[in-house]
Structure 1
Amino acid sequence: MDSSGDVVPRSIWLHEDTGHNQEAMLEGLTLFGEIRFGTPKPERLLQRMLHIATHPGDLILDSFLGLGTTAAVAHKMGRRWIGIEMGEHAATHCLPRLQQVIDGEQGGISKAVNWLQHIQKFKSVPARAARLARCAGHAGRGGGRPPRRIARPRRPAALEPGE
């Protein structure tokens, strides 16, 4: 350390704590029954990163969604998320993964964050569950929300003479 007082950050993340590529491959096999992506990340690694860098309710942007692992972990951790993926990959890879999370899948970090308990509480609110299901249905068509209806402006009421 020099006289400026700056400290070089040091940390070691062991695979026992954050997972490894083989674990991520097994998570993918459990979810999909096949290997769909060549470079998956373990959910525990993303959980560690999001825990350090964000708080519940924060917005996470993943502009290369891949299998949707970052969005899945963010969702389980109570973070909001935006995921971007090109073409059919969004519908064939990301949407099924995120639908499984919404349905309460128990892989990855689900047990560590009590995901089943959150899902059971969530399912007790039917209107919110229905809204999420509608949003998930639009994810493969370029967005996570249903299209909004734009109201036409109303004509002003005719004014009476003298007003």
Structure 2
Amino acid sequence: MKTIEHFIFIFNILLAVNVFITSACPREMQDVKAAYKSGEILDQSLPITLATIKRKLKESGIFNWQDPTLNEREKKELSKLFDVIAIMTTSRARQPSNVQNMFSSLRLVERVVKKQLKQGQISESLAAKFHWEKLPTRHRREKPTYYLDKKTSMRVFNTMN
């Protein structure tokens, strides 16, 4: 008789905990998401700005935006280019910080420069001053050491390496 009472007691506790968890979590998650969107919870890292992109371009040796050899036309084109990049980084600043990293920001600059060159918005002389070969290449991820068995939904590890 005592084991049945213990079983019922444990069952009631588990049921109460389950009801508490399922009823509290979704609202808490919505509250946290709403607080983050409203600005009550600030993102811990600083967003990527045009100044940091300019600094990284200069430090990496890809492009020196303060180059004294730039002529007036190239400076004007560069100003428009940085305006476009500023707009793009502002829209990216709304994303969480783990989405924004400097590597993808430099890639963003590369895409903008190539697109504007293709559209004739910047000159080839300005585009040639960007040294994209100094941008680190992307590393491909190694193949995983396991695969997912569809029948059992379990990981099967490759131990032959």
**TM-score (norm. length: structure 1):** 0.27
Q: Which has the higher helix share?
A: 2
The structure whose RCO (Cα within 8 Å, separation 6+) is larger is 2
**TM-score (norm. length: structure 2):** 0.27
Q: Which has the larger radius of gyration?
A: 2
